[in-house]
Chains A and B, each alone.
Chain A
Amino acid sequence: MRPDDFDVIAKILKERSGLVITPDKAYLLESRLTPVARKRGLKGLDELLSSLRTAGEDLLREVTEAMTTNESFFFRDIKPFDQFRSIVLPQLLQSRAARKSFRIWSAACSSGQEAYSLAMVLKEEAARLPGWKIEIVGTDISHEMLDKAKAGLYSQFEVQRGLPIQLLVKYFKKNTEMWQIDSSIRAMVQFREFNLLHDLKPLGQFDVVFCRNVLIYFDQPTKSRVLENVSRVMPDDGLLYLGGAETVLGISDRFKPIPEQRGIYGLNRGAAAAKGVGSASAGR
């Protein structure tokens, strides 16, 4: 691979998805993009890379999707979902009692496992939610992943990564070699194509945002920008979930960790009040 070819692909990925790829991760290009090259009848990665300078929208999009597609599991890390059930949900039931509705966002939802895990938690808690209107929205930049998410079809490997067997029996049907999640669960989630780097306002407001294991792929300024954007679609008492290896510390003053609830962040009221005033260091 020529160094200037690497610079071109790195720039494309950064601009289109925020993904930061460093030369030590060049092997990822090989494993993710060789299939794309083959599909296009190109000899290999090098030929694909040198064609990118003049490539059309289709190819640029396909390359970006191939590089940003990430693994997803049902009930990934378990704990965030236990916290949601035992702490976040009771809080929402109290604070939203008057309007009986709230919205959850699974940002960069990939093939939908996180959004569906939340839907299953809510379905299991249905007895506590009579008359409630709860929306779950999953967004991703990948067409392919969103199609898979909408179909709700998962391989035997996928349904065994994190999904308790009781929930498999209850909410999935075997469809030849694949497992399909029940239509009642699918109906609880809307999937939409959306880029986290764009203006998020069209998505509306979200009371709880799951943005786990997304920021790790971004550089510092992009992380700050995404957190800033996310904060603008949350009410003052909204909650943000980040992945186990992620933090807001030193990245954004919009959020602060919720004491004793690892991985959950609330809006920093001081910073929220200063919205638009341009306070860079206030509230830290």
Chain B
Amino acid sequence: MKSCLIVDDSKVIRMVAKKILRELSFDTDEAEDGQRALDICKANMPDAVLLDWNMPVMNGIEFLKELRKLPGGDHPVVVFCTTENDIDHIQAAITAGANEYIMKPFDSEILQTKFSQVGLL
């Protein structure tokens, strides 16, 4: 079973994402900011990260840059999932090492097609 770390400061979004990912047979873990997510990755590197952009303590893009520096940090497939929906943000995410990008609002179909495009399904 593949693992996915859900990183979002909204409890509701984490719940929705968790439900969809469980249905897609993922083992899920959750973090409410980038720093918590980084700690989890250091202890146990996931196969995938679903990543919000705007969060307290450490935001998504800072987390991603730190993640990619970690040993084994190139392993997780990182899919941004954010309300930021302009080309500049998307471009910055790709440059920082994101594999895919979901613009909120999203539904299970979007999440599923994005995950299958990056080979997670």
Distance in Å: Cβ of B77 to nearest Cβ of chain A: 12
Complex partner residue of B110 from A78, A157, A168, A174, CB under 8 angstroms: A157
The verdict on B103 contacting chain A, using a C-beta distance below 8 Å, is yes
A169-B91, A169-B94 known; A162 and B86 CB under 8 Å? no
A165-B90, A165-B100 known; A160 and B114 CB under 8 Å? yes
A156-B85, A160-B102 known; A166 and B110 CB under 8 Å? no
A156-B85, A166-B94 known; A161 and B113 CB under 8 Å? yes
The verdict on A164 contacting chain B, using a C-beta distance below 8 Å, is yes
Distance in Å: Cβ of A131 to nearest Cβ of chain B: 32
Task: Give CA–CA (A48, B74) in the complex, Å.
Answer: 59
A78-B116, A78-B117, A160-B102 known; A169 and B110 CB under 8 Å? no
The verdict on B53 contacting chain A, using a C-beta distance below 8 Å, is no
Distance in Å: Cβ of B51 to nearest Cβ of chain A: 13
Q: Which residues of B contact A168 (CB under 8 A)?
A: 90, 101
Closest to B79 in A: A165
Closest to A165 in B: B101
A160:B110 contact, CB within 8 angstroms: yes
The verdict on B1 contacting chain A, using a C-beta distance below 8 Å, is no
Chain B interface residue count, CB cutoff 8 Å, equals: 19
A78-B116, A156-B103 known; A161 and B110 CB under 8 Å? yes
Task: Give CA–CA (A166, B85) in the complex, Å.
Answer: 14
The verdict on B87 contacting chain A, using a C-beta distance below 8 Å, is yes
Q: Which residues of A contact B86 (CB under 8 A)?
A: 174
Task: Give CA–CA (A165, B85) in the complex, Å.
Answer: 12
A169-B87, A169-B94 known; A164 and B117 CB under 8 Å? yes
Q: Which residues of A contact B116 (CB under 8 A)?
A: 78
Q: Which residues of B contact A78 (CB under 8 A)?
A: 116-117
* 8 Å CB interface, A116-163 against B: 156-157, 160-162
A162:B94 contact, CB within 8 angstroms: no
Q: Which residues of A contact B98 (CB under 8 A)?
A: 165
The verdict on B23 contacting chain A, using a C-beta distance below 8 Å, is no
* 8 Å CB interface, B71-121 against A: 85-87, 90-91, 94, 98, 100-103, 106-107, 109-110, 113-114, 116-117
Q: Which residues of B contact A157 (CB under 8 A)?
A: 107, 110
Closest to B101 in A: A165
Task: Give CA–CA (A73, B113) in the complex, Å.
Answer: 10
Q: Which residues of A contact B102 (CB under 8 A)?
A: 160
B87:A162 contact, CB within 8 angstroms: no
Distance in Å: Cβ of B117 to nearest Cβ of chain A: 6
Task: Give CA–CA (A160, B100) in the complex, Å.
Answer: 10
Task: Give CA–CA (A157, B102) in the complex, Å.
Answer: 10
Q: Which residues of A contact B110 (CB under 8 A)?
A: 157, 160-161
Task: Give CA–CA (A165, B109) in the complex, Å.
Answer: 16
Q: Which residues of B contact A156 (CB under 8 A)?
A: 85, 103
Task: Give CA–CA (A273, B86) in the complex, Å.
Answer: 55
Q: Mark B54-81, 1 if CB is under 8 A from A, else 0.
A: 0000000000000000000000000000
Q: Told that A165-B90, A165-B98 touch, could you supply 20 new A-B pairs with CB distance under 8 A? A: A73-B113, A78-B116, A78-B117, A156-B103, A157-B110, A160-B103, A160-B106, A160-B110, A160-B113, A161-B109, A162-B113, A164-B117, A165-B94, A166-B94, A169-B91, A169-B94, A173-B87, A174-B85, A174-B86, A174-B87
A-B complex: 10 closest residue pairs judged by Cβ atoms: A165-B101, A160-B110, A162-B113, A165-B100, A156-B103, A169-B90, A164-B117, A161-B113, A169-B91, A174-B87
14 CB < 8 A contacts A-B:
A73-B113, A156-B103, A160-B102, A160-B114, A161-B110, A161-B113, A162-B113, A162-B117, A164-B117, A165-B98, A168-B90, A169-B91, A174-B85, A174-B87
